[in-house]
Amino acid sequence: MEIVYLEHRRNQPLPIQSDSLVMALGFFDGVHLGHRRILQTAKAIALQKQMKLAVLTFFPHPKEVLQASTAPFPYLSPLPVKQAAFVEMGVDKLFIVEFTPEFSCLTPKAFVDLYIVGLQGKHVVAGFDFTYGYKGEGNMDLLQRASNGQFTVTVVEKLEYSNQKISSTVIRNLLSAGHVALIPDFLGDYYETWGTIRATPPRIQLSYRKAKILVEAGYLLPKQGVYKIQAKIEERWYDGICHLKKQEQGGAQELDVQLLGCSDIANGKQVKLRWVEFYFDKDNRVPNHTSSDQEGDRYAIRSFSL
Ligand SMILES: Cc1cc2nc3c(=O)[nH]c(=O)nc-3n(C[C@H](O)[C@H](O)[C@H](O)COP(=O)(O)O)c2cc1C
Ligand SMILES: Nc1ncnc2c1ncn2[C@@H]1O[C@H](COP(=O)(O)OP(=O)(O)OP(=O)(O)O)[C@@H](O)[C@H]1O
């Protein structure tokens, strides 16, 4: 996959593109099941039209740039993870537009002229609720009207689970409430984060191994508590428990883990951590969750010691 970084500079032309493109538009944080529907639709159209598939996305997240808060915006999928998902989905070209205050002020028409027509987009695929241009004033109706015969448009209808739109926002809310076991219905798989293992040699041999995992910066993590996890180290999966104590969203973060049947972990190894189930929060409470009960946690008290 070719990656093209684009910076918006007034009166400066974008790099010339030689290929005609089918373009999928959106931020795509998490690359969840709704996003996958967009990318699969766009890929099928690209194959049929014998064009390359491009994704046009933005970085950082518009909220990080447009909201007053100075706190970093934590992602479900930091940029390298998103890129890997696009490769897996058969994307040929990825445009990453730097989202700046100046870019956010582009009118819907200017965005279409510069970033769709200007980049050789001949067919555009986006979801029913995609918005673009200053204050998000452009929508899919306007995009179709604005195409002026220069490109065609496919609007992908809403993909839902349990009467809810599958969205990055729902997945973020589930993480914040600790409901990691419900995430696969929206994401397509368990939520995963990459990190590095910090392990000291054990003094005695046990059936499990204590270690620390330094989660890479940029990730949104679930709420504090104790979780059932799976950790992939050097192509092998281990079951385990993770204690998430502090939450400094966005920055690198240390987790305490115990991994079963794992005797020889080398320090500094890359680890993929899969968040499987919430056991207890910091007050030893267990959420009694169902998919219709994502906001209001009802707790049962259970004693616990790690
Ligand atoms: C040219 C352009 C200008 C934008 N300006 C704004 C803006 O002023 N305010 C805003 O909240 N979002 C703005 N956005 C963000 C969009 O409304 C939308 O969140 C973004 O395109 C990602 O779409 P998605 O969330 O449907 O993937 C802009 C997007 C584009 C492409
Ligand atoms: N459930 C869905 N069904 C159909 N299209 C979707 C769905 N979710 C997202 N899309 C489309 O995927 C692209 C990327 O969307 P976006 O990044 O805004 O995802 P989102 O999950 O809606 O995010 P957020 O919850 O932050 O608004 C857009 O074209 C959007 O319209």
Q: Do 139 and 32 sit in the same domain of this protein?
A: yes
pLDDT tens digits along 170-187: 999 999 999 999 999 999
Residue 67 has a pLDDT of 85
Asked if 20 contacts 51 with a C-beta cutoff of 8 angstroms, the reply is yes
63 lines ligand 2 (CB under 6 A): no
Q: Do 201 and 239 sit in the same domain of this protein?
A: yes
Q: Do 255 and 109 sit in the same domain of this protein?
A: no
Asked if 2 contacts 92 with a C-beta cutoff of 8 angstroms, the reply is yes
Token pair, residue 134, equals 């200053």
**Residue 131 CA, closest ligand 1 atom number:** 17
Domain that holds residue 265: 180-301
Q: Quick one: which ligand is closest to 34's CA?
A: 2
Phi, psi of 288 (to 5 degrees): -95, 85
Q: Do 154 and 197 sit in the same domain of this protein?
A: no
**Residue 130 CA, closest ligand 2 atom number:** 31
Q: Do 13 and 143 sit in the same domain of this protein?
A: yes
CATH code of the domain containing 206: 2.40.30.30
Q: Is residue 167 part of a domain?
A: no
List the residue whose alpha carbon is closest to atom 11 of ligand 2: 127
Q: Is residue 164 part of a domain?
A: no
| Residue where one domain finishes, among candidates 109, 126, 158 | 158
Note the pTM of the prediction, 2 decimals.
0.91
CATH code of the domain containing 65: 3.40.50.620
Asked if 182 contacts 166 with a C-beta cutoff of 8 angstroms, the reply is no
pLDDT tens digits along 88-121: 999 999 999 999 999 999 999 999 999 999 999 9
Residue 304 has a pLDDT of 35
156 lines ligand 2 (CB under 6 A): yes
Q: Is residue 166 part of a domain?
A: no
**Residue 137 CA, closest ligand 1 atom number:** 17
Q: Is residue 173 part of a domain?
A: no
Region 279-302: mean pLDDT is 52
ipTM, two decimals = 0.94
| Residue where one domain finishes, among candidates 158, 188, 204 | 158
Q: How far apart are CA 33 and CA 26, in angstroms?
A: 14
**Residue 106 CA, closest ligand 1 atom number:** 1
Q: How many distinct structural domains can be found in the chain?
A: 2
Residue 29 has a pLDDT of 98
Q: Do 27 and 122 sit in the same domain of this protein?
A: yes
With a pLDDT cut of 90, the percent of the chain lying above it is 71
Q: Which residues line ligand 1 (CB under 6 A)?
A: 26-27, 62, 66, 103-104, 106, 111, 130-136
Q: Quick one: which ligand is closest to 165's CA?
A: 2
Q: Is the pLDDT at 45 greater than 90, yes or no?
A: yes
167 lines ligand 2 (CB under 6 A): yes
Residue 284 has a pLDDT of 62
DSSP assignment of 174-229 equals HHHHT-GGGTHHHHSS-EEEEEEEE----SS--SEEEEEEEEPTTB--PPSEEEEE
Residue 301 has a pLDDT of 32
Pocket test for ligand 2, best of 25, 37, 38 (most atoms within 8 A of CB): 38
Q: Is the pLDDT at 242 greater than 80, yes or no?
A: yes
Q: Do 130 and 213 sit in the same domain of this protein?
A: no
Q: Do 186 and 142 sit in the same domain of this protein?
A: no
With H, G, I as helix, E, B as strand and everything else as coil, classify residue 231.
strand
Helix segments in the chain, DSSP class H: 33-49, 62-66, 79-88, 101-104, 108-111, 140-146, 168-177, 184-187
Q: Do 6 and 97 sit in the same domain of this protein?
A: yes
113 lines ligand 2 (CB under 6 A): no
With a pLDDT cut of 70, the percent of the chain lying above it is 88
Q: Do 46 and 154 sit in the same domain of this protein?
A: yes
